[in-house]
Structure 1
Amino acid sequence: MKAMILAAGRGERLRPLTDNLPKPMVPVLGKPLIVYHIEKLAALGIVDIVINHAWLGHKLVEALGDGSAFGVQIRYSAEESALETGGGIKRALPLLCESEKGESDEPFLVINGDVFIDTLPPITQLAADTLAHLWLVPNPEQHPNGDFALSSNRVQELGETKFTFSGIGIYRPSLFNQTPQGAFALGPLLRAQMAQGRVSGALFEGLWCDVGTIARLQGLELRLQSNT
């Protein structure tokens, strides 16, 4: 399985750190956020990684190179301006769908570059009728109402108990077949497939943090230090 790390966001709420760094390069206990992801992917044997970038993207390329230092192969999907999650994945599909036999519809893993996790979830094979699999987390303080509900391992837009989308998912390339070129959000695309019962999901059991503000970054570092 190939993986994509989303790294094109500007990171306005992490300024001034992101004035001179792309958001996924912000360090947590001295190590860039994105390097934690790369190391975890490599440990699972997922070594073909695509990273999209826009704001200060050259610094990502300079820091990570071709990935050989981490035992992986990194390729980059450059965006002149951020294409949002859906558009960013669509732009990267030629890299994610390559195979020795030509274009493939093999599912791929996507991880937001601005979240911290202590472990990757067990990688799930998609059922034949499923276009996406999402991992959800208990609602954090900054997002108390959640995003989606779970029912019999299917993700639904409506439900009595909602959870927050972790930013970690597996997608089939064909999910993006009828989507436009350019910028578009992933949420509406997923909701349309949820209505047809084609999105599975599970709760993520590990440590998860959306490192979206300076305060959350500082809180994460304190938590990690207390666990060592």
Structure 2
Amino acid sequence: MKAMILAAGKGERLRPLTLHTPKPLVRAGGVPLIEYHLRALKAAGFSEVVINHAWLGQQIEDYLGDGHQFGLRIRYSPEGEPLETGGGIFRALPLLGDEPFLVVNGDIWTDCDFTALKAPIHGLAHLVLVDNPLHHLSGDFALVGGEVRDESAPARLTYSGIAVLHPKLFAGCSDGAFKLAPLLRDAMAKGQVTGEHFTGRWVDVGTHERLAEVEQIVAVKP
């Protein structure tokens, strides 16, 4: 299975850090955020990674290179203008192949073990959901008997930015900017999305306060 890290975001809420540094290269505990993902993917047995980029993307390529220092093979999907989550993944499909692939948002920090996500999926997508953070208490989706649904009962959880997607999820799409969520909701309506509830450490690193939270976690992490 291949993996894709979404790294095209501009990180406007992390300015001035992101004025001259792409968000995935912002450091926490002295380590670029994207490097935590690469280490975790390697530990989970992944060998091929695709990274999309837009804002200051060449810096990402210059820093990570072909991935050999991480024991990985990295390929890039440059966008120029951001294509949003759905459009970015769709543009990268030729690099990802015809089988399900892991997708990880580049602007999260987590200690999630990606190993179990290499298991075959049943349907078009498998989402990792987390408890609702303070900045998103309403959540995104419900998890009912292993199936993810776009409803409020019994309780909504937050999409973590970690998923396994089948390329068929993008059938009928065309090149350009579009969001992933509508595709997921369409698949949910057809019973084609499964999920799991991750209860480990997870931070959406969207602000300076949440970046400081990650700093504190990695400072004490064994």
Q: How does 1:182-193 map to 2 (within 5 A)?
A: 182-193=176-187
Q: Unaligned 5+ residue runs, structure 2?
A: none
Mapping 1:65-76, distance limit 5 Å: 65-76=65-76
Gaps of 5+ in 1: 98-103
Distance 1:226 1:89 in 2: 34
String of CA shifts for 1:159-204, please: whole Å, max 9, x gaps.
Answer: 2300000000000111101112100000011001101100000001
Task: Name the structure 1 match of 2:129.
Answer: 136
| Letter of the 2:149 counterpart | Q
Q: Residue 142 of structure 2 aligns to which amino acid in structure 1?
A: A
Task: Work out the CA distance in 2 between the residues paired with 1:78 and 1:162.
Answer: 34
Matched to 1:193, the amino acid is A
Amino acid at match of 1:74: I
Q: Residue in 1 aligned with 2:190?
A: 196
Aligned match of 1:119? 112
Pairing partner for 1:152 from 141, 145, 148 = 145
Inter-partner Cα distance in structure 2 for 1:192 and 1:172: 14
Q: Percent same amino acid at aligned positions?
A: 53
Superposed CA deviations along residues 27-54 of structure 1, whole A, max 9, x for unmatched, are 0100001001011111111010000000
Measured in 1, the distance between the counterparts of 2:75 and 2:216 equals: 33
Find the counterpart in structure 1 of residue 19 from structure 2.
19
Q: Distance in 2 between matches of 1:169 and 1:227?
A: 25
Distance 2:130 2:172 in 1: 29
Cα shift readout 1:101-135 (whole Å, capped 9, x = no counterpart): xxx2x1000000000011324213112xx000000
Q: Quick one: distance in 2 between partners of 1:2 and 1:223?
A: 28
Higher helix share: 2
The match for 2:28 is 28
- Cα distance between partner residues in 2 of 1:227 and 1:72: 24
Deviates more, 1:201-210 or 1:1-10: 201-210
Q: How many residues align?
A: 219
Q: Secondary structure at the match of 1:58?
A: helix
The equivalent of 1:2 in structure 2 is 2
Query: Match of 2:136, SS?
Result: coil
Q: Retained in 1: the 8 A contact 2:124–2:168?
A: yes
Cα RMSD (Å): 1.0
